[in-house]
A and B are shown apart, each in its own frame.
Chain A
Amino acid sequence: MTTEELRKIAESEREAQRRFPHHVCVCMAASCQSSGAADVLDALKKEVVESGMRNEVHVKGVGCMGLCSAGPLVAIETEGKMYAHVTHDDAPEVIRGLDTGAGGDGLKELSAGDAFFRRQKKIVLENSGVIDPERIEDYIAHDGYFALVHAITELTPLEVVQQVLKSGLRGRGGAGYPTGLKWSTVAKTGEQRKFVVCNADEGDPGAFMDRAVLESDPHRVLEGMAIAAYAVGAQKGYVYVRAEYPLAVKNLKTAIRQAERLGLLGNDIAGSGFSFHVDIRLGAGAFVCGEETALMASIEGKRGAPRPRPPYPAQEGLWGSPTLINNVETFANVAPILRHGPEWFSSIGTEKSKGTKVFALAGQVENTGLIEVPMGITLREIIHEIGGGIPSGRKFKAVQTGGPSGGCIPGEHLDSPVDYESLARVGSMMGSGGMIVMDETSCMVDVAKYFTDFCRSESCGKCVPCRAGTEQMYGLLQKIAGGQATQADLTLLEELCDLVRNTSLCGLGQSAPNPVLSTLHYFRDEYLEHIEQKRCRAGVCPCSTTPSAPQKVSQ
């Protein structure tokens, strides 16, 4: 496969698509599918055939369009229109609307100028909701695989590493380690056998960015992995993906097969002598496997227990060989960097955090779904403009980022920019990108208890501080929530947090106290209320027996 051949595929695909005056895209990502998108797709296809417009309308299933709460979504690409909450009964109206140009009276139209779409900047998700994830030709028609062929035929591995280094890309899994540095460490090792691993074990509750990328644009991740493999000198790659994401696994398998068929993965890619094979490994529901050493143990077929670092995977990873591990979103950023140049990438974002970040916006906001924003945007802009604010006129209380390793950020820090350093400064972290908005119906003690419960049951049990410490922390939080705690318990809880944080073996234990510490820091009065007055102002905790306390809303 040469650039010329790639261009030919792209051209003939574009030509084929241009033949249709109308393009109707149906979101077929998991969220829309669960609200009936497959029926809508079938109904639209049937309607096109029945109304004799087979040569004018092209109906295709695409990946995530972002606004999951308004699903199933249907976009009329050619007219820039988007309909929300479409049912299969709406199909005739959608198709009729194409013909007359008007129509769509009975449909709920979203305007593309909506703040939800306007404030976003798409790099990782640029193809998401646009291309058919099950067709490699569609990806190639959107400039796919050109970066890979360019890199392996025209650049040296060192030049690729330098471009990534210069772009300022940092790991999107949460910790923010410079990607280029990691690549160059692996590239510099003298070993013959090396591995590239894509971490798609998205275990944080409330995060679904990686799933959306894998479902909507799997080829982009594979292209990023292949470029990385060329840069570091690896021959074999693994995608470690959650078994709970069947659609992502299916699309990824299809994508690997298609890329192999075209010679973009496998032996002797683009006639350069460079070979790279990708295999999928299924996770089995263990949060700790998102930690890189545990993830490697799991790929080797063992229990997912982490081991101390150093040696880092970059020196000694899978089966003792140097291994490059990056997150899905990190790999998805690689091809655009090579295509547009590192300067383009580093012009987006803040001084230390470059590019964009994908967030899964959920919880008590009007617009929930998947968003991609430039680094440096403020939390207020995300929640109140893109997210559309808090529904039912209730008051904002906190936003939780970073999942069980992150913290709750209160209203006073809403103007803090979203980048790795600023979020750490306010006691949370970037994390993989879950962003849960909470209003006054959520109790902060209860939220801390929820995350501690999560960590305690996900602790692998290898080191004592995490195994026993999180258990004791949970017990104390239960006591506080039940209104049986004293001041001494609060002091003990803080000491315990300090101990677990400083003495645990891996990231899971080291960050497990974060949700407790951040809520203690910003919402101490709520803890004190539970202890001194045996009262939970949100009416969530068992201690609140006052009948006048507002009940938690269940819908």
Chain B
Amino acid sequence: MQTFLGPPQLPSDDKRWKIVDATARRYGREPHALIETLHTVQESFGYLDETALRFVAATLRVPLSRVYGAATFYHFFSLKPQGKHTCVVCTGTACYIKGAPALLSAIERRHGIKPGQTTPDGELSLVTARCLGSCGLAPAAVMDGAVLGKIGPTDMLARIQKGMHP
């Protein structure tokens, strides 16, 4: 039998946990702050691991199953660490009809990864976005935060190369 005596201890003295705890506190540790708190974890750590899920469950006093349920339901959250570099290819309708599939297959051929995968050396992750909202620049991609518009497969591979080995 578990008794709740105030909020749980932070998992470690990593400062990032304080940021996560601050978000929970701002919403009064109410269960409805679940998604906001998960956002903060993802922003601070890059992904959600078991320690984080357990901590969020304890601090908001919701069952771990509900935290896991939300974390896996929403595409934005990732339960796996991302590679050192991330390439996001937009697969919105405009990008799709203007050549996003060619970008994806070029990356797959060169680096051997499909959307959602990371290279075995942990260097590059390939992600697809539903729509970046840069339809005027279709096809669009994002390499480590920099948006690349009207990009073809050759340029795409060159930019990835440049991003990984500057």
Determine if B134 is an interface residue (Cβ-Cβ < 8 Å). yes
Which residues on B sit within 8 Å (CB–CB) of A555?
A: 98-99, 150, 152
Determine if B91 is an interface residue (Cβ-Cβ < 8 Å). yes
B106 nearest in chain A by CB position: A554
**Known pairs A205-B91, A205-B131, A299-B32; A450 contacts B96 (CB<8 A):** yes
Query: Which residues in window 430-456 of A have CB below 8 A to B?
Result: 434, 436, 438, 441-442, 447, 450-451, 454
Question: Contact string, A8-49, partner B, CB cutoff 8 A, digits 1/0?
Answer: 000000000000000000000011011100000000000000
Which residues on B sit within 8 Å (CB–CB) of A83?
A: none
CB distance from B99 to the nearest CB of A (A): 4
Which residues on A sit within 8 Å (CB–CB) of B97?
A: 363-364, 436, 438, 441-442, 447
B88 nearest in chain A by CB position: A244
Determine if A287 is an interface residue (Cβ-Cβ < 8 Å). yes
Determine if A352 is an interface residue (Cβ-Cβ < 8 Å). no
A369 x B74 contact (CB < 8 A): no
Question: Contact string, A503-519, partner B, CB cutoff 8 A, digits 1/0?
Answer: 00000000000000000
Which residues on A sit within 8 Å (CB–CB) of B132?
A: 244
Determine if B135 is an interface residue (Cβ-Cβ < 8 Å). yes
B102 x A362 contact (CB < 8 A): no
**Known pairs A301-B70, A302-B70, A364-B98; A206 contacts B92 (CB<8 A):** yes
Which residues on B sit within 8 Å (CB–CB) of A299?
A: 32
Question: Contact string, A62-102, partner B, CB cutoff 8 A, digits 1/0?
Answer: 00000111010000000000000000000000000000000
A284 x B77 contact (CB < 8 A): yes
A301 x B98 contact (CB < 8 A): no
B35's partner among A205, A208, A282 (CB-CB below 8 A) is A282
A202 nearest in chain B by CB position: B133
Query: Which residues in window 362-403 of A have CB below 8 A to B?
Result: 362-364, 368-369, 400, 403
A206 x B131 contact (CB < 8 A): yes
A369 nearest in chain B by CB position: B136
Interface size class of A (residues with CB under 8 A): 35 or more
- Most chain A CB within 10 A, of B39, B135, B147, B149, is at B135
Question: Contact string, A398-411, partner B, CB cutoff 8 A, digits 1/0?
Answer: 00100100000000
Determine if A360 is an interface residue (Cβ-Cβ < 8 Å). yes
Query: Which residues in window 20-51 of B have CB below 8 A to A?
Result: 30-36, 38-39
Query: Which residues in window 314-347 of A have CB below 8 A to B?
Result: none
A-B contact pairs, 21 of them (CB 8 A): A34-B149, A35-B147, A68-B137, A69-B137, A206-B131, A208-B135, A244-B132, A245-B133, A284-B35, A284-B75, A284-B76, A285-B74, A285-B75, A285-B130, A286-B74, A286-B75, A287-B130, A363-B138, A364-B97, A364-B98, A447-B97
Which B residues have a C-beta under 8 Å from some C-beta of A?
A: 30-36, 38-39, 62, 66, 69-70, 73-77, 91-94, 96-99, 102, 129-140, 146-150, 152-153
6 A-B pairs with the lowest CB-CB distances in the bound complex, closest first: A68-B136, A34-B147, A284-B74, A362-B135, A205-B92, A208-B133
A203-B130, A299-B32 are known contacts; what are 16 more A-B pairs with Cβ within 8 Å?
A30-B133, A31-B137, A34-B134, A34-B146, A35-B147, A205-B91, A205-B131, A206-B93, A207-B133, A211-B133, A243-B76, A286-B74, A287-B130, A304-B73, A363-B93, A553-B99
Which A residues have a C-beta under 8 Å from some C-beta of B?
A: 30-31, 33-35, 67-69, 71, 202-208, 211, 243-245, 281-287, 298-304, 360, 362-364, 368-369, 400, 403, 434, 436, 438, 441-442, 447, 450-451, 454, 460, 552-555
